[in-house]
Every structure is written in C-alpha cells, then in structure tokens.
Structure 1
Amino acid sequence: MCRVELSKAYRLLNHGPTVLISSSYNGKQNIMAAAWACALDFDPPKITVVIDKSAYTRELIEASGTFAINVPCVAQIDIARKVGTTSGRDLVDTDKFALYGLETFPATEIDAPLLKDCVAWLECKLIPEPHNQNTYDLFIAEVVAAHADERVFSNGHWHFEGHDKVEYDKLRTIHHIAGGAFFATGIALKSSV
C-alpha cells in the first residue's frame, strides 16, 4: 500500500467504481456498498456519496463525522454483494465484519476501519450539509488521507496492464449495474491528441 498525494486522490474515484463505505462510532462499526460515489473537488480534495436514510452506516457517519471509502476489486465481488444486501441494523451482537470474516486495518486519520485487500482507500471527514443530506441523501466529505495498492495505482494513475493477466484482472475495480451484476474496469486507452 502506498500513500496517495491528496492532490491526486480524486483519481481513485474518477472512473466511477462501486465502493464499500465503512464507519464506526462508540464501539459500533458497519460497512455497506454504494454505487453513487464521486470525486467533487481537488484542493482540498472532496467527494460525494449517496447514502439512504435507512442505512445504518449513515447513522454512524452522522454521529462520528467520518467514514472511509474502500474501493473493492473483482476478487471481492461476493463481499460487495453481501455487505450491500445485509443491513447492519439487523445484526444483533455482531456486525458485518465479524459475520463475513472481513479483515481490516486501522486508518491513519479517522476511526473507521479500512477493509483489507481493496485496491484503494480514502479517509473522509464529513462536511455537514443538512439540506443535501436530508433532501437528497447526498453526503459531502473532505478526503484527509488516501492510499492505494501500488500494484495497480502509482504515480497518480491506475495501471492494470503489463502484468500477470490473471492476477491483475482480479485487481480491477468493479461497477455494480443491478441485481448482482457487475462489470470490471476495462482496458486503458489513451488519446492521440
């Protein structure tokens, strides 16, 4: 894992991957899938994410003021599906991390756990915007730290080609379409201009 310059943090979300949002507050933690996460600004880096009013993760974010964006890969499709179809609110005496055997590691700037084996992580501090949150379920946050798996992201760019194809295809980011169907990030193309 390498630290990503905050000026390049937007590039971790710029291609629209499905993300896993982790949160924690007062000894409770949760993780959920979200398809609507987007880079918003460069300096300081900001992101947006849509989180429904019924989501337990939202309750923890609003209480703590922080959350993490974990960018999963092809090897984690089943995890994304499981945490996206289970409510942490329904789990008594456990959480999704324990239920699904998800390994985490500590963030550097916030309390929310980071999910191991993802390909990127953004540590976020909520910028309270009650009108947007209550009307549109839209959350805005400042990215206070960013990290990536240097096998597929370095020098400010994603790079999935030029390596062992089987290994690197498993590290491609995923995009949820609907009903459990996902696409993987495709080949990189460069403009000739």
Structure 2
Amino acid sequence: MRQDVPLPQAYRLMNHGPTVLVSAAHGGRRNLMAAAWAMPLDFDPPKVAVVLDKSTFTRRLIEGSGEFALNLPCRAQADMAYTVGSCGGEALDKFEAFGIGSFAGQATQAPLIEGCVAWLECRLLPQPALQAQHDLFLAEVVAAQADARAYAHGRWQFRDGPDADPALDALRTLHHIAGGRFFLCGEQVQAHSMGDKT
C-alpha cells in the first residue's frame, strides 16, 4: 500500500543515501537507470540532486521532458537494479525486456517502478552549466510516496535485534558499493541530547 509523504519530509526518503532508479519518459520512449549519486538538497520546497552521465539515454529523456522520478529499490530488487544500471536503454525497452512493472505518477509523466519502497516525482530545475560541466541535475520534488510497510509516521520502519520484523527484510533499501555489490540499511540507534542528562 502506497501512502503520500508530506513534501517537506520528502528528503527523509533519501537522507540515508540509497541507490535510486531514475526513470523518465519523453516522445513516446521511456527508460530507467540506476544511480548511486543522488541526494536531498532542501526541505521546502524539497529539492534533490542526481548525477547523470552524458552518455545515458535517461538523461536525454529528462532533458527533453524536464521531469523524472527517483524510485528507491529494495533488497528484493537487487538483481533488477544491477541489470538496469549495467545496460543502455536507447536500443532496448528495459521495462519489456526485463518484465519491470510500472504505474503512473501523480504529478509527472515519468513511470514509477512497481515493487520499490519510495517514489519521488521531480521537475528539473535547469542549470545548464552544472549539467554540462559536472553532469549534476537539480530538481524540485513535486510528489512523494512510500510503501507504508517500510516507511510510516515520517521514518523508515526497519529494526534489528529483538524488534526485528523478518517480513520487512526484503524491503530494505539498497546502497551500492561497486561491481554489483550492495549493502542494506541496518541497525538503528536512537540518540539523545547530551543536554538532557543534566
């Protein structure tokens, strides 16, 4: 079950540095690619940054449409994330070739990927110099949703130790290391202000 995430809290979906699948559509074509270099930039309005190499077909679709989506894949999608990040999409419809389901977003035409645990729909904030020189794309998040099993009440629901829920294990986000290897988000530690101890 998907739930809307208040836009000023959209940064929380990416604050822990997960791998994202960048999806876009333009001119009757669609594509998705994996990206490890994506991050939140601002709270309200929420903004994100993502690095998209000049050689990617997804980048051309984004430049044409002015919009894209960041989809957060989970442990159950590790093979798919590695596969779509390892092949080009200009001569291949990755959705059809690899049986990847998608659904329509709320605010953009970018396809949202089924099975992910969060989705951020984004409108490009054109910065031609940054895009050309550093492959850095900035965007405003215009809609955000999350899988209520994995993200609820403004935070990720994963727990380890005696509070662990084995059913949530397959929904842990992926964090790319290199060469098709990922680690998963892990143990949470609750910090307390040192001022509270006086």
- 1:90 Cα deviation after fit: 3.2
- 1:76 Cα deviation after fit: 0.3
Report what 2:51 is aligned to.
50
Tell me the TM-score normalized by structure 1: 0.96
Report what 1:10 is aligned to.
11
- 1:187 Cα deviation after fit: 1.2
- 1:20 Cα deviation after fit: 0.1
Report what 1:187 is aligned to.
187
Report what 2:196 is aligned to.
none
Tell me the TM-score normalized by structure 2: 0.94
Whole-angstrom CA distance in 2 between matches of 1:163 and 1:188: 11
Check if 1:141 corresponds to 2:139.
Answer: yes
SS in 1 for 2:187: coil
User: In the TM superposition, what whole-angstrom CA distance separates every residue of 1:99-120 from its partner, at most 9, and x where no partner exists?
Assistant: 0000011001000100011000
Report what 1:38 is aligned to.
39
Report what 1:84 is aligned to.
85
- 1:159 Cα deviation after fit: 1.1
Aligned AA (2:129) = H
Larger radius of gyration: 2
SS in 2 for 1:79: helix
Report what 2:65 is aligned to.
64
SS in 1 for 2:85: helix
For structure 2, the 5+ residue unaligned runs are 194-198
Aligned AA (2:170) = K
Report what 1:153 is aligned to.
151
Whole-angstrom CA distance in 2 between matches of 1:63 and 1:82: 25
Structure 1 runs (4+) greater than 4 angstroms displaced: none
SS in 2 for 1:60: helix
Report what 1:106 is aligned to.
104
Contact 2:19 2:176 in 1 (8 A): yes
- 1:169 Cα deviation after fit: 0.9
- 1:160 Cα deviation after fit: 1.1
SS in 2 for 1:8: helix
Check if 1:177 corresponds to 2:177.
Answer: yes
- 1:163 Cα deviation after fit: 5.6
SS in 1 for 2:143: strand
Report what 2:27 is aligned to.
26
Aligned AA (2:13) = L
Whole-angstrom CA distance in 2 between matches of 1:26 and 1:90: 15
Whole-angstrom CA distance in 2 between matches of 1:189 and 1:57: 37
SS in 1 for 2:18: coil
Aligned residues: 189
Please report the RMSD computed on the Cα atoms of aligned residues, expressed in angstroms. Answer: 0.8
Whole-angstrom CA distance in 1 between matches of 2:56 and 2:33: 8
Equivalent residue in structure 2 for 1:117, among 101, 115, 118:
115
Whole-angstrom CA distance in 1 between matches of 2:83 and 2:30: 16
User: In the TM superposition, what whole-angstrom CA distance separates every residue of 1:135-178 from its partner, at most 9, and x where no partner exists?
Assistant: 0000000000000001111121111124631x211100000100
